[in-house]
Amino acid sequence: MKRRKFVRNTVLSGICSASGVELVFGALMPEGYLPLAFQEEDPFELFEKDRGMVVLNNRPWNLEARAHLLNDRVTPNKYMFIRNNGLIPENIDGSRWTLTIDGEAVEQKKVYSLEDLKSGFKQYTYQLTLECGGNGRSEFNPPAKGNQWTIGAVSCANWTGVRLRDVLKDAGIKDNAVYVGYHSADVHLSRDPTKEPISRGVPIQKALQEETLLAFKMNDKDIPRVHGYPLRLVAGGWPASASGKWVQRVSVRNIVHDGPKMTGSSYRVPCEPVAPGSEVKDEDMCIIESMPVKSLVTFPKSGALLDHGKKLRINGHAWAGELEVSKMEYSIDFGTSWMQCALDKPANRLAWQHFTAEISFPKKGYYEVWARATDSLGRAQPMVLPGWNPKGYLNNACHRIAIKMI
Amino acid sequence: MTDHKRFWRRERAVYRILIVICAVVLIAAIATVYFMAAPVNEINDTENGYSSIPEEDPDRIENGIHLRTGFAEGVGLMETVNNCTGCHSAQLVTQNRMSREGWVATIRWMQESQNLWDLGEEEPIIVNYLATHYTPTDKGRRENLANIDWYVLEE
């Protein structure tokens, strides 16, 4: 079997290189005729992910965690969700990587090597919550288009790098700066080299925050390739798409950045609320900024059977975009009554917070433990789906797990 | 030895090497053609203790599912496979549920911004297929928890 595969792959790649048709042809070839090596890529091995992670899409690669996999206080790589709009760049050479700062609102265009960044600027480490804007999309009704994320497109890892603001100030920001937009090395799904899969960014105020990093380390190691090696913009608390991977260029714009996925219905929601299923014109859509308050019960895994009389310890995380979570509660009676959880302070601004509680159940039977976080402005998670929007963003409805007392 | 003879002897060595190179290239070419032309399943390893595997149809359907892609069996399946899995996986389609208008709008969006080609007369076939097999169901404002794996919690 191995030999057969080897022969086939060798011959196929030989044909490809001999005829010079690899890219164009490769992309158009029906899947069954692609070299086996491509078909049989094991994402768990390829990206060093736990086998409990769920593959939503293999081209482009999109994987999500499940609630119980996210129990660590700091998310390790193996449980971090993967979100791609395009194809992961190949053959990245960190030693030759450069970052260009340019744009209408920069004093002078400047190019930095990774070494320039590491040695020229002070380094900082923060725990930063990154959640996909479409996390929870699968629940919207009518359904919203895109990868059907359930609850696992969120992480909070340690990110180490230099402050974007230090680098921007080194290049010089003009008074007319409005936004920064990133440009990355990933490849469009159609392999059209003139197209960028995604080029988003943040307003200049967010770019200048202390915690907004040009990161080169995740959890004290080089950033894994799939998460943006060798350089990633990290803007915690905002849709994770604002945290561009494989960043080669940051443009300081004198307008709201207009790269792919900044316009239309991408990462935008109706400026004014709409009824489910409404059509919304592009000009009536507004860019998502901070993510809303949300929480996850990460222990126990949903489906626990317990002897009646035993207490159940639960724990999890809560986060609130730009804000802090000020209160964490649980309910075992579908919201009739809410009990308070013990809630930690965040390790730093924009890090998720940990909570625990010990629960007693009044009698045998089926229960759901619902968790509800409230942010520092008093806004709590809804128990039902929040406002419908065309692309199904910002679902922060309460998470719940099933428990049976036997 | 005359100059002519010395020249010929030297040339003969070069000539021999050339023949060997040509022969190697020819054998490699024949081997390549053989492997290309022969269906993979016919390259058996029986003499080494491996057994041949039965001929597999790349478009095999089992329990109503097109195995290679995960698409549902139905009229328009192959048109959909051939036009909709060139750039992205079938999973991006099968995860989604849209009305007929929604699928048409998605095709238009891909044609405008994602380099999708004109689907020509296959478009209504594909739209019909998608709207039939991947149509929305009403989920209400919050669904019951489903597919719970019950287990005994030891602490």
What is the per-residue pLDDT across A60-71, written as a single tens digit (0 to 9) for each? 999 999 999 999
Confidence grade of residue A217 (pLDDT, cut at 50, 70, 90): very high
pLDDT tens digit string along A348-361?
A: 999 999 999 999 99
Q: Where are the beta strands (DSSP E) in A29-116?
A: 54-58, 61-64, 98-102, 110-113
Q: How far apart are CA A402 and CA A105, in angstroms?
A: 53
Residue A341 has what DSSP assignment?
P
How many other CB atoms sit within 10 Å of the CB of residue A321? 22
Q: Residue A22's pLDDT is what?
A: 39
Q: Residue B30's pLDDT is what?
A: 77
Q: Residue B49's pLDDT is what?
A: 52
Written as one letter, the residue type at A311 is K
Question: What average pLDDT does the segment A367-379 reach?
Answer: 98
Q: Residue B44's pLDDT is what?
A: 44
What sections of B1-155 are H helices per DSSP?
3-37, 77-84, 91-94, 100-113, 123-133
Q: Residue A10's pLDDT is what?
A: 43
Residues above pLDDT 90, as percent of chain A: 90
Does the pLDDT value for residue A6 go beyond 70?
no
Residue A90 tokens read as 């190949």
- Residues in B closer than 8 angstroms to A383, CB to CB, are 142
Written as one letter, the residue type at B148 is I
Question: What average pLDDT does the segment A82-104 reach?
Answer: 96
Does the pLDDT value for residue A24 go beyond 90?
no
Nearest to A190 among B43, B68, B115 (CB): B115
- Mean pLDDT, chain A, as a whole number? 92
Contact between A145 and B98 using a beta-carbon 8 Å cutoff: yes
Q: How far apart are CA B15 and CA A209, in angstroms?
A: 74
Nearest to B32 among A14, A55, A385 (CB): A14
Q: How far apart are CA A71 and CA A193, in angstroms?
A: 40
Contact between B96 and A145 using a beta-carbon 8 Å cutoff: yes
Question: What average pLDDT does the segment A358-377 reach?
Answer: 98
β A110-113/A98-102 pair status: antiparallel
Shortest Cα–Cα distance, B16 to chain A (Å): 27
pLDDT tens digit string along A243-282?
A: 999 999 999 999 999 999 999 999 999 999 999 999 999 9
pLDDT tens digit string along B65-98?
A: 999 999 999 999 999 999 999 999 999 999 999 9
- Residues in B closer than 8 angstroms to A399, CB to CB, are none
Higher pLDDT, B113 or A208: A208
Contact between B145 and A57 using a beta-carbon 8 Å cutoff: no
Does the pLDDT value for residue A226 go beyond 60?
yes
Shortest Cα–Cα distance, B148 to chain A (Å): 6
Q: Residue B25's pLDDT is what?
A: 82
Contact between A146 and B96 using a beta-carbon 8 Å cutoff: yes
How far is residue B56 from each of residues A147, A223, B51, measured CA to CA in Å?
Answer: 31, 41, 15
Contact between B36 and A11 using a beta-carbon 8 Å cutoff: yes
Does the pLDDT value for residue A1 go beyond 60?
no
All domains of chain A in start order, with CATH: 1-40 (no CATH), 94-287 (3.90.420.10), 294-405 (2.60.40.650)
Asked if the C-beta of B51 comes within 8 angstroms of chain A's C-beta atoms, the answer is no
Which of 65-124 (B) contact A at CB < 8 A? 68-69, 81-82, 85-89, 91-92, 95-99, 102, 106, 113-115
Nearest to A56 among B95, B98, B115 (CB): B95
Q: Residue B28's pLDDT is what?
A: 81
Nearest to B87 among A27, A300, A402 (CB): A27
Shortest Cα–Cα distance, A82 to chain B (Å): 15
Question: What average pLDDT does the segment B49-58 reach?
Answer: 67
Q: Which of A59, A151, A301 to substitute to test the interface with B, most B CBs within 10 Å?
A: A59
Q: Chains A and B: how many Cβ contacts under 8 Å?
A: 111
pTM (two decimals): 0.83
Question: What average pLDDT does the segment B14-20 reach?
Answer: 81
pLDDT tens digit string along A323-356?
A: 999 999 999 999 999 999 999 999 999 999 999 9
How many Cα neighbours within 13 Å face the side chain of A41? 15
Confidence grade of residue B13 (pLDDT, cut at 50, 70, 90): confident
- Residues in B closer than 8 angstroms to A141, CB to CB, are 136, 138-141
**Sign of dihedral through CA atoms A222, A228, A232, A233?**
negative
pLDDT tens digit string along A139-148?
A: 999 999 999 9
Q: Residue B54's pLDDT is what?
A: 62
Torsion of the alpha carbons at A268, A270, A273 and A279, rounded to the nearest 10: -120
Confidence grade of residue B9 (pLDDT, cut at 50, 70, 90): confident
Contact between B88 and A305 using a beta-carbon 8 Å cutoff: no
Question: What average pLDDT does the segment A73-96 reach?
Answer: 96
Q: Residue B17's pLDDT is what?
A: 81
Shortest Cα–Cα distance, B130 to chain A (Å): 13
DSSP of B110-122, one letter per residue?
Answer: HHHHS-PPP-GGG
Q: Residue A131's pLDDT is what?
A: 98
Q: Residue B43's pLDDT is what?
A: 45
pLDDT tens digit string along B25-50?
A: 888 887 776 666 544 444 444 445 55
Residues above pLDDT 70, as percent of chain B: 81
